[in-house]
Amino acid sequence: MGRTLAEKVWEAHVVRQAEGEPDLLYIDLHLVHEVTSPQAFDGLRSAGRPVRRPDLTLATEDHNTPTIDIDKPIADPISRAQLEALRANCAEFGVPIYSLGNPEQGIVHVVGPQLGLTQPGMTVVCGDSHTSTHGAFGALAFGIGTSEVEHVLATQTLPLKPFKTMAITVEGELPVGVTAKDVTLAIIAKIGTGGGQGYVLEYRGSAIRGLSMEGRMTLCNMSIEAGARAGMVAPDETTFEYLKGRDHAPTGADWDAAVEWWSTLPSDADAVYDAEVFLDAATLSPFVTWGTNPGQGLPLSGNVPSPADAVDEVDRVAIEGALAYMDLTPGMPLRDIKVDTVFVGSCTNGRIEDLRAVADVLKGRKVAPSVRMLVVPGSVRVKKQAEAEGLNVIISEAGAEWREAGCSMCLAMNPDKLKPGERSASTSNRNFEGRQGPGGRTHLVSPAVAAATAVTGHLAAPADLASAS
């Protein structure tokens, strides 16, 4: 029987296998940030253990970092202490680090791929659930907890039970205006926030093959919101093209050997998945969330649902709770939802193509006076490239704030937060209660929908702007 992409990558990393025990899997790349690592380094220190492979480990600062005045000391003493702890730990254990102010600093899941560190067939882990992003390269990449961070630092391995595999096939051509973000929100709405639990998702089909690497990263990034620890796309020419020439990509004979192996990784034609899901690309449209988990989403053309639509009692309680928290009325058109904040950025949608999509919509237009819009590049590199292309000028002239790189308003750990009762359209990944700040309300959207929403002041797609003018 043939093997799937995920099974091939798994089998290439098994250090030890024994009956009744988890497999011991080798980890090729361990990314580290300030929030989930201090207690892990502490554990090593108290046990007198070194970091086994600092040369396969890379740290960056992202969650706590401010996105303005980064040349000044960080105002919040607790955030500052956490960043200082990471710097001291990296110095003590010999781990390379890109600190605030370094030209390679940025969100951990933007930094790895842009440096060419994330490659097909690798195992990649990080103490962050959005590590699934790196699966876009055909890597097996997943988030881990702090105990596992310590385990990887000490041993460069993890004991793991094999995942099940789920094929998510999207065939056809995506309609104009439909992006990877809309595809992932539609998938999560279809299979639910628990639908992927225990699975590695493999995204397949002509619509997926047609996505750029950045689109594939957006798609894989949100796999965790469907409950899956990892999402993957088989490596192809698009992948190789993206990697070639990047700082850490192989060169010369190594490149040829790598491409030869990478080309063997796609799932065999007779591979069998534990579950399969199909979507018709032609039926998809811009998608937004109305509730408080990423599965509570609908096409932008839809209406806010009613508790009466619930499939069972648990669902009814969930819809009621979400409507109350979000302060929405059943039956209201989603396009009528007014926002006061628009956030573009995060490991989901903070890359150059996302910023280009936003600038395309904002060009020659103004952000509505009632809306505050933040545009936050995912890394210093992305910021510099956007500035070289003049995107920052378009974005600033439209009235949006152009910021420094970081996680920003995705998660309320730095100064960028929603105030209680504020409502945002956000390109990030989670619309949980209070995620963007206590009492804040979040609608997840694509970059293009975010920009159109900023212009109109209510949830909107770029096509709505064209028809209005």
Partner 1 sequence: MEAFVTHTGTAAPLRRSNVDTDQIIPAEYLKRITRHGFEDGLFSSWRKDSDFVLNRSEYQGVSILVAGPDFGTGSSREHAVWALQDFGFKVVISSRYADIFRGNSGKGGLLTAVVDQSLVEQIWELIEADPATPVTVDLEAREVRVGDLVAPFEVDDYVRWRLMAGLDDIGITLQYADEISAFEATRPSYKPTTK
- Among positions 420-449, residues that touch partner 1 (CB under 8 A) are 430, 432-435, 438
Rounded Cα distance between 334 and 230, Å, is 31
- Beta-carbon contacts of residue 264 (< 8 Å; ≥ 6 apart): 8
Size of the site for partner 1 (CB under 8 A): 85
Residues 268-287 touching partner 1, rule: CB under 8 A, are: none
Q: Which of 114, 147, 308 is nearest to 213 (CA)?
A: 114
Which positions from 225 to 264 touch partner 1 by CB under 8 A, shown as an x/- string? Answer: x-xxx------------------xxx---xx-xx--x---
Rounded Cα distance between 103 and 384, Å, is 9
150 binds partner 1 per the rule CB under 8 A = yes
Please list the residues that pair with 444 across neighbouring strands: 426
298 binds partner 1 per the rule CB under 8 A = no
- What count of Cα atoms within 13 Å lies in the side-chain half-sphere of residue 38? 13
Closer by beta carbon to partner 1, 347 or else 394: 347
154 binds partner 1 per the rule CB under 8 A = yes
Q: Which residue has the tokens 């690497």?
A: 213
Which positions from 47 to 76 touch partner 1 by CB under 8 A, shown as an x/- string? Answer: x-x--x-xxxxx----xx-----------x
Q: Which of 126, 123, 87, 85 is nearest to 109 (CA)?
A: 126
Which positions from 308 to 347 touch partner 1 by CB under 8 A, shown as an x/- string? Answer: ------xx-xx--x--------------------------
Rounded Cα distance between 338 and 30, Å, is 41
- Beta-carbon contacts of residue 55 (< 8 Å; ≥ 6 apart): none
Please list the residues that pair with 233 across neighbouring strands: 203
Please list the residues that pair with 58 across neighbouring strands: 31
Closer by beta carbon to partner 1, 227 or else 447: 227
Closer by beta carbon to partner 1, 52 or else 363: 52
Among 139, 412, 418, 455, binds partner 1 (CB under 8 A): 412
Closer by beta carbon to partner 1, 193 or else 303: 193
Closer by beta carbon to partner 1, 119 or else 349: 119
Inter-residue contact 391 to 356 (CB < 8 Å): yes
Give the other-Cβ count within 10 Å of 69's Cβ.
Answer: 11
Rounded Cα distance between 183 and 286, Å, is 8
Residues 78-137 touching partner 1, rule: CB under 8 A, are: 78-79, 81-82, 85, 96, 116-117, 119, 122, 127-129
Residues 19-38 touching partner 1, rule: CB under 8 A, are: 20-22, 24, 26, 28-29, 35-36, 38
Q: Where are the beta strands (DSSP E) in 9-122?
A: 14-16, 23-26, 29-32, 57-60, 97-98
Closer by beta carbon to partner 1, 75 or else 466: 75
Residues 193-222 touching partner 1, rule: CB under 8 A, are: 193-194, 197-198
* Minimum distance of partner 1 from residue 333's CB (angstroms): 25
